[in-house]
Amino acid sequence: MTSLNQDKDLVATNINHLAGYFFDISSKKSSIGIFPHARADADALGAALSLANALQDLGAEVEVIAEEKAVPSLQFLPGIQNMVLYSGDIAEKQFDLAIAVDLNTPDRLEKREKLFLNASQHAIIDHHVRDQANGDNELIYTGSSSTCELVFRLISALEDLSAKKIFNDDIAVLLISGMTTDTGRFSYNNTTPRAFRQVAWLIEEFNVDLALLTHELFERTTVTQLQIRGDVLASIKLAADGRILYASVSREMMNKRKATDDHLDYLSSDMREADGVDVSILLRESPDRTEIHGSVRSNSCLNAAEFAQIFGGGGHVRASGFTIEGMGLAEAEAEVVAQAEKMLEQCL
């Protein structure tokens, strides 16, 4: 797999170009819709809400349009109460500019795809792999730890252009939340020196309660979550002589505990940590049982992004996701595990 979006100088030019464009369109008081991906995480929401805060400051009318209500661990994010939940009422709205954050193909916007495409102009800010060069107003850089790291650079450029202070306490909390989660609290290989520098500066300059942020993002749990995690971990299976660890979560398992999908967050990452495991795979039935959602984590030569692409998904080299339609859980499990075995064998 190649990525055409890793050129450092090109990225700096791209950031300045996009900031100039955002500055112009905001000063015309344009209407801007910002779109995080479905089942938004802290990076997607942190990027969307901080960019909304900044562009509003520059005169734009900005709405963050979400697919669904944010999960409980993200309810503390500043500005989340102003987020608009997508409904049919706004389906025909036409924004002057629609910005996708933390995704690079509009189909990841699910129900909101049409609303996004309906806008007069479009921009994309993302750090996921895409085998296609950046188009106009597209800032896709896989060398960035997170979309929030890119949004930091954009806001910095906007401060230069506008000669005013835009960063504030809320933006600091939002950007730190995105960078902290996407880097696994600065432990994954995607962690960049730049992310450390940005976070250090934000903590220096603004009022950020790091202990509260860490509690909300990583530590808080519920009895339900502990129970469903226990059920899933007790059901894990091994393949490829223990190199693949996988689990499939049926709706019966979820319903028994009254669990929701976000209760399974980070579980595939935890599974990957078992000694000797090269790949972890977590499959779960969608609430309406029409789809199987897969989450893959790799410690090894298996490229998780390439793996997910085979099933129509995508992501990063070590972490990715996909959705399978028209297959039951058992059938999907057999296919996915067979594919992982094949790819592990090939990349030895």
138 binds Mn ion (CB under 5 A): no
Smallest separation, CB 148 to Mn ion (Å): 8
Stretch that binds Mn ion, among 15-23, 99-107, 214-222, 313-321 (CB under 5 A): 99-107
Parallel, antiparallel, or unpaired for β 237-239 and 244-249? antiparallel
Q: What single DSSP character describes residue 103?
A: -
Cβ proximity to Mn ion: between 213 and 332 the closer is: 213
Encoded one letter per residue, x for contact with Mn ion by CB under 5 A and - for no contact, window 139-168 reads -------xx---------------------
* DSSP bridge partners of 324: 292
CA–centroid distance for 264 within its chain: 15
> Do the Cβ atoms of 100 and 110 come closer than 8 Å?
no
**102 belongs to the binding site for Mn ion (CB under 5 A):** yes
Pairing of strands 319-325, 314-315: antiparallel
Residue 341 · residue 239 · CB < 8 Å:
yes
- Yes or no: say if 308 and 296 are a contact pair by the CB < 8 Å rule: yes
| Identity of the residue, 53 or 147, whose beta carbon is nearer to Mn ion in the bound complex | 147
Please give the distance of CA 223 from its chain centroid, rounded to a whole number. 26
CB atoms within 10 A of CB 287: 12
Closest CA to 139 of 329, 255, 6, 229: 6
Q: How far is the CB of 47 from Mn ion (least distance, A)?
A: 8
Q: Would you give the binding string for Mn ion spanning residues 40-69, x where CB under 5 A is met?
A: ---x--------------------------
Of 196-225, binders to Mn ion (CB under 5 A) are none
The residue (of 43 and 285) whose beta carbon lies closer to Mn ion is: 43
Q: Which amino acid is at 121?
A: Q
Binding mask 286-325 for Mn ion (x = CB under 5 A): ----------------------------------------
Q: How far is the CB of 146 from Mn ion (least distance, A)?
A: 5
- Contacting Mn ion (CB under 5 A), which of 63, 138, 149, 182? 182
Q: Considering beta carbons, is residue 179 or 208 the nearer one to Mn ion? A: 179
How far apart are CB 43 and Mn ion at their closest, in Å? Answer: 3
CB of 82 to Mn ion, least distance (A): 21
Nearest Cα neighbor of 141 from 316, 299, 309 is 316
The amino acid at residue 198 is Q
Q: Which residues pair with 65 in a beta bridge?
A: 84
Q: What would the two tokens of residue 230 be? A: 């226990």
Q: Total residues contacting Mn ion (rule CB under 5 A)?
A: 5
Which residues in 15-44 contact Mn ion (CB under 5 A)?
43
Q: Which is nearer to Mn ion, 43 or 63 (CB)?
A: 43
Minimal distance, residue 127 CB to Mn ion, in Å? 6
Q: Whose CB is nearest to Mn ion?
A: 43
Matching residue, tokens 């790949």:
279
CA-closest candidate to residue 297, choices 324, 330, 271: 271
Nearer CB in complex with Mn ion: 187/346 = 187
CB-wise, 168 or 181, nearer to Mn ion?
181
Task: Tell how far CA 244 is from the center of its chain.
Answer: 24
The one segment of 77-85, 182-190, 197-205, 273-281 that binds Mn ion by CB under 5 A: 182-190
The 3-state DSSP class for residue 153 equals helix
User: Would you say 249 and 287 are in contact if contact means Cβ atoms under 8 Å apart?
Assistant: no
Query: Which of 38, 90, 43, 88 lies closest to 63, judged by CA?
Result: 90
Question: Is the CB of 146 or the CB of 225 nearer to Mn ion?
Answer: 146
Kindly tell me which of 147 and 248 has the beta carbon lying closer to Mn ion.
147
Among the listed ranges 85-93, 138-146, 233-241, 304-312, the one in contact with Mn ion (CB under 5 A) is: 138-146
Interface residues toward Mn ion, by CB under 5 A: 43, 102, 146-147, 182
